[in-house]
Amino acid sequence: MAAIFAAWATVAAGAPMDAPAMGPTTPTLTADEAFPGARRVSGTVFWDANENRRRDPGEAGVAGARLNAGLRTATAGADGAYVLESPDPFFTIAVSFPSGSWPTGPWFRRPAKSIEEHLDFGLRKETPALPFVFVHFTDPHTGLPQAVDNIQAECAALPVRPRFYLCSGDLRSQTVSVTELDKLRSDFGMMHDAFARMKAPVFVVPGNHDVVDLKSNVRFPPEIAEHPLFGQRAWEKWVGPANWSFQCGGVLFIGQPWAEYTATGWDSFSPAIKKWAADEVAAAPSGTRVVLLCHAGGVTEADWILSGHSHAQGPSYGRANRLAGGQSGRHYTREEWNKDNERRAEAPFVEPVPVRNDPQHLRRFGEDGCPSGYRLVAVYPDRMDTFYK
């Protein structure tokens, strides 16, 4: 694997590419944008033996497969059939595929009706090959198109291709409201188009800049809070699920949403988020290693935490922008979050919090005129190694 890292370091010197121009928009919501969300979906998770993305006679169901729709979950029965219902609207449903399998088609679906049937997911059986490599990048902000193209071009020269990509959010900049439809279409359309160019699966979680009408301790009037693009709904309509999980090579990967909109406003540490993440860990086989992907503020125990948010550079940086390679093993508490925020408010980025035994860091795309920082991570049976660009 050292040879892979050496080869990658040699080719990682491409110049940023120009972002694609966005076309004109109209202030009227399309049918997809106006969709108020689903309340009940059903389907089957099945072994797609011929990989044609549809269930044929004789193809068995995947018993016990888990599915996520927001913070709601369902478990497939012995025949692979599932039903997921929610009193709150949801906009995506994703299969949490187990280790030893991989989707033959999309790993998430977008319902088009309030009650929808036959939202099926096909999986193929495979023997996980270790080691495997994945890529983690974060905080590209408006530089996402360039970051995607640069990272893929550099990784294409490796003798081993990344199995998948993880991105820990902040794909746009500044705040945005449901009243700014042209801005929403431009920014989220940019995200959709950039990820569509990626040749390996990409699993992404939103950052604070990716949440529409994000304000602390604020309850919005119904015309805002119930808007079909409010909060993480725009993300789910253009990008994908705000939270998800899957297993690969005996490792559980969990994607944590930025926050939940509650009776007191936005809450990144809500009981529902904590319970959902803890349930995903509990459902995995005993001894499964856990990688948590979050923009900042992990809510559950994990062997590794992949995050972003702080943009700090150098050997010391904010806790939120760390890769905890097993030396921590605990989650980032609300008290630590508040303390770090107070420190940054007093002297932003002047006194960053050191992270023990991990001199690596990430940086925002274009922050210093350099391409986006990202990590290659190699997963072995007994450890995970990382090399940062």
Q: Is the pLDDT of residue 369 over 70?
A: no
State the number of CA atoms in the 13 A half-sphere of 237 facing the CB.
27
| pLDDT above 50: residue 327 | no
User: Quick one: average pLDDT of 353-363?
Assistant: 33
- As a whole number, the mean pLDDT across the chain is 80
Out of 15-19, 122-126, 142-146, 292-296, least confident range? 15-19
pLDDT digits (tens, 9 = 90+) for 241-269: 999 999 999 999 999 999 999 998 999 99
* Helix H or strand E encompassing 378: strand 374-379
Tell me, what's the pLDDT at 126?
93
pLDDT in tens, 265-279: 999 999 999 999 999
Q: What is the pLDDT of residue 130?
A: 87
> What is the structure's pLDDT at 113?
96
Q: Is the pTM of this model over 0.85?
A: no
- In angstroms, the CA 189 to CA 229 distance is 13
Q: Region 154-177: what's the mean pLDDT?
A: 90
Q: Residue 333: pLDDT above 70?
A: no
Q: Is the pLDDT of residue 58 over 90?
A: yes
Query: Do you find a cis peptide bond into 111, omega within 30 degrees of 0?
Result: no
CB atoms within 10 A of CB 164: 17
Closest residue by Cα to residue 135 from 306, 317, 310: 306
Spatial distance between the Cα atoms of 46 and 54, rounded to a whole number of angstroms: 9
The pLDDT score that the predictor gives to residue 81 is 98
For 86, 90, 166, 316, 348, the CA distances from 192, given in Å and listed in that order, are 26, 19, 15, 33, 32
Contacts of 71 (CB under 8 A, 6+ apart): 243, 257, 260, 272, 273, 275, 276
Per-residue pLDDT, 285: 94
Does 69 or 216 have the greater pLDDT score? 69
Report phi then psi at 173, rounded to 5. -125, 160
What's the full length of the chain, in residues? 389
Between 330 and 340, the higher pLDDT residue: 340
Q: In 3-state terms, what secondary structure has residue 363?
A: coil
User: What does the pLDDT read at residue 321?
Assistant: 34
Confidence tier at 234 by pLDDT (50, 70, 90): very high
CA–chain centroid gap for 121, Å, is: 19
Question: What pLDDT, in 10s, does the model give residues 19-51?
Answer: 233 333 345 899 999 999 999 999 999 999 999
Smallest CA-to-CA distance from 144 within 120, 173, 115 is with: 173
Which of 100-109, 295-304, 362-371 has the least mean pLDDT?
362-371
End-to-end alpha carbon distance in the chain = 16
- What confidence score (pLDDT) does residue 336 get? 53
pLDDT over 80 at 315, yes or no: no
How far is the CA of 279 from the CAs of 269, 349, 382, in angstroms?
A: 15, 35, 24
Residue 129: burial class (beta carbons within 10 Å; 0-12, 13-18, 19+) = exposed
Domains and CATH numbers, the chain: 35-127 (2.60.40.10), 133-388 (3.60.21)
pLDDT attached to residue 63: 98
Cβ-based burial of 343 (10 A; exposed 0-12, middle 13-18, buried ≥19)? middle
Instruction: Pick the range with the lowest mean pLDDT from 31-35, 115-119, 216-220, 260-264.
Output: 216-220
CA angle 275, 134, 370 (to 5 degrees): 105
**Which pLDDT band, with edges at 50, 70 and 90, does 348 fall under?**
very low
**Which tokens belong to 272?**
């529902």
